[in-house]
Structure 1
Amino acid sequence: MISRKYGRTYHYPFSPGTTSDDRINHQYQTDLSQISTLIHTEKLDGENNCLNRYGVFARSHASPTQTPWTRHLRERWAMHKHDLGDLEVFGENLYAVHSIAYPRLESHFYVFAIRENDQWLSWEETQFYAQLLDFPTVPVLAHYAQPFDPVQVEATVNYWASQPGTFGSVDAQSGQDCTMEGVVSRNIDGFAESAHSHNVFKYVRKGHVKTDEHWTRNWQRARLINEQSNGLPNRQ
């Protein structure tokens, strides 16, 4: 295996967007007690892609992806492949519109985590390497240091999840404004691969995926904010 996929992120028990095959962390309060600082980031509605020395991978990591909506990433990868070493850069690929369109999108790829061997890097290290590679990181909504009040954590996550996305958020089907997809909370410090489920938690809005067809069947390229201001159309 030349690449190991990103592990499942367990839902908060109060996350309304769970499905039958999702996993829920019912012990999240115990896990939070072991974390010094927690940050909440926006869960962007894209494809989980990974860049490492061997190529660009989609969710399965069986082999490097060749999909048309990862072409821009494969071009970037060709520029940086010799600089990655043991780093695996994970991010949301927003090149293709999924269930949410972002009217103020500034980039097509936002880094949310970086793994080096069996260790997930701290958020500071993640930002450092993302900047070196000229990639933005996902928007940080808030951060809190111990001691955590579980009631406050739930209230904070619910509050942010009820807001529009940082780049705006429009239902791709109806064209109506909507809330962000959800919130991902993580330990600001680094942690082992084996401890991922105890250090990363997510909240997903109810009924998030509403498209009748899978988005890949008739996908559209997401326009960046500078393109929209110039009136340029979507194109594949």
Structure 2
Amino acid sequence: MKKYNRTYHFPFSPGTTSDDKILKDWTGILQYPLVMTEKLDGENTCLKKSGVYARSHAAPTRNPWAKNMWAIWDQVNHQLDDLEIFGENLYGIHSIEYTHLPSHFFVFAIREGDLWFSWEEVMFYAQLMDLPTVPVIYQGKFLENQIENMIAEEMQKGSQLGGECEGFVFRNANAFHTDDFKRNVLKYVRPNHVTTDEHWTKNWKRARLQHEPSSL
């Protein structure tokens, strides 16, 4: 029961803590076509045949802010087989309260055994299961100096879901083995994200979808 691999930070990511890992020699990822996606401020959640799992895969999650995920699981579990669908669950507000949420769950990766699917395959299966993917900022090859410049520009724009932007994830657009994860997926996280997100579970609040009344 493998949980999601730890994602290493770029050396210039300001949102690192003492527990985080930084990939100092990160430029090897530039040899691949990359997908730059928005890093959403939610709970990393996995849908698999045996149920819904959050950070730990020792047992299915039964947290109240994950109840929406069980409704989704009921709809898609017959399609899962050996697939593990990873995404961001935004049902409970963490630090950022998004103002234009079309959904509470956004897919960002799919694993089968020890293989992480290509982004094209991720989009195919997400569409097949009628699940949205995380916002895509850009797809293609990058030069070293373009990464930081694009991050700076996009951070100023804010989230595509309305509100502040948490950061970005860059992944190899191709499929890759789980043992090679740390050199195929890297992230940039805004400063101070941990301190503002520290105790969100104590008085958690459901995130409002964009079509719902503000009084909800």
Range of TM-score over shorter length? over 0.9
5+ long unaligned stretches in structure 1: 170-178
Number of the residue aligned with 1:32 = 30
The TM-score with structure 1 as length reference comes to 0.88
Say if 2:99 and 2:162, in contact at 8 Å, map to a contact too: yes
Number of the residue aligned with 1:174 = none
Number of the residue aligned with 1:226 = 211
* Partner SS state of residue 95, structure 1: coil
Residue 20 (str. 1) matches residue 18 (str. 2): yes
Change (3 A) 1:104 1:217: same
Say if 1:40 and 1:157, in contact at 8 Å, map to a contact too: no
Number of the residue aligned with 1:10 = 8
Q: Residues 21-48 of structure 1: CA distance to partner in whole angstroms, max 9, x if unpaired?
A: 1001111112322x1x111100000000
Aligned partners of 1:72 and 1:91: how far apart in 2?
Answer: 13
Change (3 A) 1:126 1:218: same
Say if 1:160 and 1:183, in contact at 8 Å, map to a contact too: no
Number of the residue aligned with 2:100 = 104
Give, as a single letter, the amino acid of the residue that structure 2 aligns with 1:32.
L
Say if 2:66 and 2:91, in contact at 8 Å, map to a contact too: yes
Q: Residues 112-158 of structure 1: CA distance to partner in whole angstroms, max 9, x if unpaired?
A: 0000111000111101111111110000011222xx32011221122
* Partner SS state of residue 160, structure 1: helix
* Partner SS state of residue 137, structure 2: strand
1:132-147 matched pairs, under 5 angstroms: 132-145=128-141
Range with greater deviation from structure 2 (153-162 or 52-61): 153-162
**Aligned-pair Cα RMSD in Å:** 1.3
Residue 201 (str. 1) matches residue 176 (str. 2): no
Aligned partners of 2:22 and 2:88: how far apart in 1?
Answer: 22
Residue 153 (str. 1) matches residue 147 (str. 2): yes
5+ long unaligned stretches in structure 2: none
Aligned partners of 1:25 and 1:212: how far apart in 2?
Answer: 24
Number of the residue aligned with 1:173 = none
- Residue from 76, 79, 94 that aligns with 1:83: 79
Aligned partners of 1:168 and 1:112: how far apart in 2?
Answer: 19
The TM-score with structure 2 as length reference comes to 0.96
Say if 1:49 and 1:91, in contact at 8 Å, map to a contact too: yes
Decide which structure has the larger Cα Rg and report it.
1
The Cα shift of 1:160 comes to 1.7
Number of the residue aligned with 1:64 = 60
Say if 1:52 and 1:88, in contact at 8 Å, map to a contact too: yes
What is the count of residue pairs matched by the alignment? 216
The Cα shift of 1:208 comes to 1.2
Identity of aligned residues (%): 53
